């Protein structure tokens, strides 16, 4: 039973490390640590933070990339790992990959379309 729970935790870590990278890239680098609180809590129809069809494909793609990097470095089911795991673990490469993808794709595509109130 505990082995199954440990494997579940490792799978969720794969998602959480990618989410951390996206959050850091978005808040610290893309938004310059500034959010418009009125717009954040405005109705979705009028909110400048609205994305395409109410979801953000760039964020989902960055999440998938970060998740894939984590699984490549340290497979949650088999617990096999690459040699780099010894030095960086899997969360650091996953976080960096997801954050980088989110940052680059947001700069290239989201700002020009007016998604998410990026400066």
Checking if the pLDDT of 43 tops 90, the result is no
- The Cα–Cα gap between 28 and 42 comes to 22
In residues, how long is the chain? 119
The ranges assigned to domains in the chain are 2-113
Tell which wins on pLDDT, 93 or 41.
93
Backbone angles phi, psi at 29, to 5 degrees: -105, -45
Nearest to 75 by CA among 7, 20, 3: 7
Alpha helices in 25-83 (DSSP H): 37-40, 57-73
pTM of the model: 0.88
- Segment 60-73, tens digit of pLDDT: 999 999 999 999 99
- Segment 12-34, tens digit of pLDDT: 999 999 999 999 999 999 999 98
Confidence of residue 39 (pLDDT cuts 50, 70, 90): confident
């Amino acid at each position: 039973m505990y082995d199954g729970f440990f494997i579940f935790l490792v799978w969720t870590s794969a998602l959480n490390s990618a989410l951390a990278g996206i959050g850091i890239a978005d808040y610290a680098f893309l938004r310059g640590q500034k959010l418009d609180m009125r717009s954040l809590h405005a109705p979705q129809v009028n909110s400048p933070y609205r994305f395409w069809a109410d979801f953000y494909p760039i964020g989902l793609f960055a999440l998938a990339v970060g998740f894939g990097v984590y699984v490549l470095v340290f497979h949650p089911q088999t617990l096999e790992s690459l040699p780099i795991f010894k030095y960086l673990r899997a969360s650091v490469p996953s976080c960096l990959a997801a954050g980088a993808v989110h940052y680059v794709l947001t700069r290239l595509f989201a700002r020009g379309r007016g998604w998410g109130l990026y400066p």
